[in-house]
Amino acid sequence: MTVQPALHRQHCSVAAPTQLWLDADGRLGSGDSAAAGGDGGSGAGTSEAGWFTGLLHGDTRMLCRAEVRVNGMAPEPASVEAEAGGVLRVRGLVRGIPGPTEDPAVELVQTWTVTPGVVRHALQVNTSFDALDVEIEVRLAADFTDMAAIRLSRFREPFAPFAADESALRWRHGARTLTVAAPGAVAAGERLLWRGTAGRGRSFEAEWQAVLADSEDAVVAARPPASRRPPAEPSGALGLLLDNSLDELAGLRLASRQLPDAPFLAAGAPWYFTLFGRDSLWAARLLLPLDAGLAGGTLRTLAAFQGTRNDPAAAEEPGKILHELRSKELVLESQGLRLPPIYYGAVDSTPLWLCLLGELGRAGTDDSTVRALLPNAARAAEWLLAAGNAGHAGNAVGANGGFLSYQDTTGHGLSNQGWKDSGDAMQFRNGRQADGPIALSEVQGYAYQAAVETAGLFDAYGEPGGQALRDFAEALKQAFRERFWLEDDGGLFPAMALDGHGDPLDVPGSNMGHLLGTGILDASESRLVADRLLSPELFSGYGVHTISRRAAGFWPFSYHCGSVWSHDTAIAIRGLLAEGFLAEARTLAEGLLKAAGSFDHRLPELFAGVPSDESARAIPYPASCHPQAWSSASAVVIAQAMGVGF
Name the pLDDT band for 335 (thresholds 50, 70, 90): confident
How much of the chain, in percent, has pLDDT values that exceed 70? 94
CA nearest to 176, candidates 59, 310, 64, 284: 59
Domain boundary among 198, 214, 230: 214
Identify whether 2 is part of a domain. Answer: no
Q: Looking at the structure, do residues 197 and 311 belong to the same domain, yes or no? A: no
pLDDT at position 227, please?
Answer: 60
Statement: residue 33 has pLDDT above 60: no
Kindly indicate the confidence band of residue 98, based on its pLDDT and cuts at 50, 70 and 90: confident
**Considering the entire predicted model, what is its pTM?**
0.94
Q: Are residues 201 and 242 in the same domain?
A: no
Q: Is the pLDDT assigned to residue 298 strictly greater than 80?
A: yes
End residue of a domain, out of 214, 236, 265: 214
| Average pLDDT estimate for 199-222 | 96
pLDDT of 401 reads 85
DSSP assignment letter at 447: H
153 plus 285 within the same structural domain: no
Q: What is the pLDDT of residue 31?
A: 59
Which residues form the domain of 150?
11-214
Whether residue 72 is contained in a domain is answered as yes
Is residue 5 domain-resident? no
Average pLDDT over residues 87-96: 95
Please report whether residue 164 resides in a domain.
yes
- Name the least confident of 37-46, 235-244, 323-332: 37-46
pLDDT tens per residue, range 459-490: 999 999 999 999 999 999 999 999 999 999 99
Question: For residue 1, is it within any domain?
Answer: no
* Domain tally, the chain: 2
285 shares a domain with 184: no
Residue 336, Cβ neighbours under 10 Å: how many? 12
One domain for residues 207 and 256: no
Answer yes or no: do 387 and 531 share one domain. Answer: yes
Mean pLDDT to the nearest integer, 158-182: 96
pLDDT given for residue 6 in this prediction: 86
pLDDT digits (tens, 9 = 90+) for 476-529: 999 999 999 999 999 999 999 999 999 999 999 999 999 999 999 999 999 999
Q: Are both 396 and 425 inside the same structural domain?
A: yes
Same domain, 154 and 282: no
Closest-CA residue to 206 (of 227, 233, 187): 187
Q: Tell me which long-range contacts 584-591 makes (C-beta under 8 A, separation of at least 24).
A: 584/530, 584/533, 584/534, 585/641, 586/641, 586/642, 587/534, 587/539, 588/533, 588/534, 588/539, 588/543, 588/544, 588/641, 589/637, 589/638, 589/641, 589/642, 590/642, 591/539, 591/540, 591/541, 591/542, 591/543
Residue 260, preceding bond cis, omega within 30 degrees? no
| 277 and 351 inside one domain | yes
Same domain, 172 and 238: no
**Domain contains 6:** no
pLDDT for 400 equals 86
Which amino acid belongs to residue 258? Q
Write down which residue in 170, 197, 214 finishes a domain: 214
Residue 394 has pLDDT above 70, yes or no: no
